[in-house]
Structure 1
Amino acid sequence: MKNFKKICFVLGTLTATSTTAIAANYNANHFFAERHSMVRGPYVEFARRVAEKTNGDVTFQVFTGGSLLPPAASLQGLRDGVAQISYHAGTYTPAELPVANLIGNMAFYNTDPMVMAFASTEFGLTNPAALEEWAKNGVVFGGGYSTSQYFMMCNTTVETLADVKGKRLRMPGGAWTRFAEYIGAVPVSIPSSEMYTGLDTGSLDCAVAAADALDSFSLKDVVTSMNTLAIGNYYAGFEWGYNKAFWRGLSEDNKRVLFDEMAYELAQHRLAFDADVNKAVDAAKSNGMQVYSPDEALVSSLNRFVAEDEKVLIENAKKRGVENPEEILAQFKSIVDRWDALLNSVDRKDVDALAALAKTEIYDRLDLSTYGMK
């Protein structure tokens, strides 16, 4: 296995540093399974269309399920050329991506996943502090994403604030961990791949994640109840990040293809993710899962936490060396509010209309001759 990883590293590095007009196969990395909505369209179909529209100049071999890079190594592996394009969850690298984690922890500011997918994309492509952070890590940011809303999926009844106290909740870290502690629960930080085992063995009482996990991670087999308190949504990091050497070797025409396809999949993915959630919840309910609305005390606790936690975000960002985090958050909120308004002007079930909005309002405004070249 060690030798295999070394071979992957060498091949990836050679590919990244040999980016000429010669057609080549490049590595695309995602740690979710191929059937997940974040992989099916944004990686598998994306790779197919990119190869077709670049006449084979840019052909990605898609590695899924962590088969090329495990979650915590995806940022370094992308930088080092093991992959030329990769998904990365920012929570795994808070020291390397303090700005990305600062805005990622604003998950409770607006819990509309469509708004946050488009807003996080614009921020990552245009904010000076974010761009400096990507460059420092050898990454060219391609586009963002957002999961659907996070709910508590439990192997016991969790309906009220009193029910939550003392429960062991799987949380993705950051603000979610602080919220668990705020309401008297016990946060457990494990990757999504371990949620099933935790619920099955009883080391977890609830998994806090998007409800498509009932199907994509088979949680429906071990979950008996779900609470619909909207505990934010996850968008830290990037859905598409590119190795810097690879990006610089692309022609402007091929970069435009990538931009256009990311704009399309940004929209397509959001609709597919929500469709997967609805399908998974319906199937789990038919299998006996109970769905509870949060009581007033639980809702009030979340609202108080959101109001109080922003100062913690700012303090943590300063400790990690972020300059002017207050200004960065203000800029991010402005972008979020802009997309909240923009998305009211379009049919949010029309993939092509949403993709066109992403193109005109984000990607078409970037200069292909300079973007990602510093």
Structure 2
Amino acid sequence: MNRYVRLLGVVSLAALAVGMVEARELRLASGAPPAHPASDPLYNSFAEFLPEETNGELTGLMIGPEVVNIGTVKQALQSSLAEVGNLLPLFVPADLPNTALMGDLSFLATTPHAMGAAMTEYVVTCGECQAEFKTMGGVFVGAGSSDVYVLLTTKPVNSLADMKGLRLRSGGAPYARWAEKLGAAPAQVPVSDQFEAVSQGVLDGTMASISDLISYRLIDVAKYIIDVPLGTYHTTSNFTVATTAWSELTPEQREGFARAANKSSALFTQSWGYDRAASARQAAVDAGIQVIPASQDLLDATNEFRFSDIPDAVALAESQLGVTDAADKIARFQTLVDKWTAITAATEGDVDAIAAAVQTEVWDKVDWSTYGL
């Protein structure tokens, strides 16, 4: 009897060992510091959901920002240093022009959850977007959104005149165009470098999520929050999978990967777009940072920019990036924003319900034997 029990134990251990060998560990790069929502909850929750949604067949190994930061995700994916990465299309518009084009609607944003869902559906169903990801060597598996951006500065902005010459960090083309239109001087600085640039006086501030006060320690250098609504940062590719790694997964594993990514993206938007923004604002007040409401002339100039910039964005996309029918693509995205604004409003902020809606409306319609290949 004891011999039989021992034999069963050996067989069980052997089976377990085989299962462990067969499990595929993917190298994951959020590109963000631990305090940023792209790290937690986005990638931390994904590392938990991934084995759950793939019956333990896929797991993740986190790579820190000291190895792969947000500005080097594309290179890390192409070199296979990372197999899954948080890629920002506005950082690589020449590679992903049709995808980055949607960033030009930042200033027309509604709510964060609606923008993240609309971006997800747009890219999944955009043939040219899919083609450019394939050419770059990656697969798009979902987007998310920030809160509505504001100005975080070391100088007060009490009127439109105070914008003149203000040196501001820009996270993408639409923000740079807004700053230039209003007389400021935008600079394309990686988000991970904005603390140093502001602390050393190279920049007077940044156009950013208010949660950057905590995520990137700007609370130690910023003196003012200028409450001018600058739209959301929703042109993301939260989980960009290197094509080589994606091709090695079974259709069932890809489907499970997407379920895990979808759940994590909803949590990410809830955190970045709502929860952390509220906490950061309170922390700023407690730290003595002054909140300055946008002056009427600053609001008027920003509102005028929201609509007048679209023709310029279309012209630039077509002439400089080779995007065709840009106006039609923007109109389609606006339709999706309206669709998802209604859907997310009906959920009354229930994150699980929002994730379920995206799963039903987008991911359940994907053919996993061909998607991304």
TM-score by length of 2: 0.89
Q: 1:7 — aligned with what?
A: none
Asked if the contact 2:53–2:260 (Cα under 8 Å) also holds between the matched residues in 1, the reply is no
1:347 equivalent to 2:348? Answer: yes
In structure 1, distance between residues paired with 2:161 and 2:26? 52
Asked if the contact 2:143–2:237 (Cα under 8 Å) also holds between the matched residues in 1, the reply is yes
Asked if the contact 2:53–2:259 (Cα under 8 Å) also holds between the matched residues in 1, the reply is no
Q: 1:178 — aligned with what?
A: 177
Residue 172 (structure 1) shift: 1.4
In structure 2, distance between residues paired with 1:206 and 1:159? 15
Write out the 4+ residue segments of structure 1 that deviate beyond 4 Å after TM superposition.
none
- Segments of 5+ residues of structure 2 without an aligned counterpart are 1-20
Q: 2:132 — aligned with what?
A: 133
Q: 1:33 — aligned with what?
A: 33
In structure 1, distance between residues paired with 2:139 and 2:215? 29
**Aligned partner of residue 249 in structure 2, secondary structure:** coil
Residue type matched to 1:356 in 2?
A: A
Residue 55 (structure 1) shift: 4.0
Asked if the contact 2:32–2:69 (Cα under 8 Å) also holds between the matched residues in 1, the reply is no
In structure 1, distance between residues paired with 2:280 and 2:297? 28
Residue type matched to 2:120 in 1?
A: T
Residue 259 (structure 1) shift: 1.8
**Aligned partner of residue 72 in structure 1, secondary structure:** coil
Residue 34 (structure 1) shift: 2.2
**Aligned partner of residue 230 in structure 2, secondary structure:** coil
Q: 1:299 — aligned with what?
A: 299
In structure 1, distance between residues paired with 2:347 and 2:163? 39
Asked if the contact 1:225–1:289 (Cα under 8 Å) also holds between the matched residues in 2, the reply is yes
Asked if the contact 1:71–1:92 (Cα under 8 Å) also holds between the matched residues in 2, the reply is no
Q: Which has the larger radius of gyration?
A: 2
Asked if the contact 2:110–2:337 (Cα under 8 Å) also holds between the matched residues in 1, the reply is no
Q: Alignment RMSD, CA only?
A: 1.7
Equivalence map 1:235-314=2 (5 Å): 235-273=234-272, 274-314=274-314
Residue type matched to 1:71 in 2?
A: I
In structure 1, distance between residues paired with 2:264 and 2:190? 25
Q: 1:202 — aligned with what?
A: 201
Residue 237 (structure 1) shift: 3.8
**Aligned partner of residue 141 in structure 2, secondary structure:** strand
Deviation per CA, 1:329-352: give whole Å up to 9, x if none: 12111111111111121121x221
Asked if the contact 2:36–2:216 (Cα under 8 Å) also holds between the matched residues in 1, the reply is no
In structure 2, distance between residues paired with 1:214 and 1:132? 37
Residue 66 (structure 1) shift: 4.4
Q: 1:87 — aligned with what?
A: 86
Percent identity of equivalent pairs = 28
In structure 1, distance between residues paired with 2:290 and 2:72? 37
Asked if the contact 2:96–2:132 (Cα under 8 Å) also holds between the matched residues in 1, the reply is yes
**Aligned partner of residue 225 in structure 2, secondary structure:** strand
Deviation per CA, 1:19-60: give whole Å up to 9, x if none: xx9323221112111231111122122112212443432121
Deviates more, 1:291-300 or 1:75-84: 75-84
Q: 1:226 — aligned with what?
A: 225
Q: 1:317 — aligned with what?
A: 317
- Segments of 5+ residues of structure 1 without an aligned counterpart are 1-20
Deviation per CA, 1:334-373: give whole Å up to 9, x if none: 111111111121121x221111111111111212222123
Deviation per CA, 1:116-157: give whole Å up to 9, x if none: 111111111111121111112121110011111111011121
In structure 1, distance between residues paired with 2:168 and 2:223? 15
Asked if the contact 2:71–2:190 (Cα under 8 Å) also holds between the matched residues in 1, the reply is no
Asked if the contact 2:91–2:172 (Cα under 8 Å) also holds between the matched residues in 1, the reply is no
Deviation per CA, 1:72-127: give whole Å up to 9, x if none: 33223323422211111122212111112211121112242211111111111111
Q: 1:187 — aligned with what?
A: 186
Residue type matched to 1:132 in 2?
A: A
Residue type matched to 2:165 in 1?
A: G
In structure 2, distance between residues paired with 1:267 and 1:91? 21
In structure 1, distance between residues paired with 2:114 and 2:196? 33
In structure 1, distance between residues paired with 2:161 and 2:182? 9
**Aligned partner of residue 71 in structure 2, secondary structure:** helix
Deviation per CA, 1:150-207: give whole Å up to 9, x if none: 1101112123212222211111130111111111111122111222222222222221
In structure 1, distance between residues paired with 2:109 and 2:280? 24
In structure 2, distance between residues paired with 1:185 and 1:313? 19
Asked if the contact 1:147–1:210 (Cα under 8 Å) also holds between the matched residues in 2, the reply is yes
TM-score by length of 1: 0.89
In structure 2, distance between residues paired with 1:111 and 1:335? 11
Residue type matched to 1:343 in 2?
A: T
Residue type matched to 1:243 in 2?
A: A
Q: 2:12 — aligned with what?
A: none
Asked if the contact 1:151–1:209 (Cα under 8 Å) also holds between the matched residues in 2, the reply is yes
Residue type matched to 2:287 in 1?
A: N
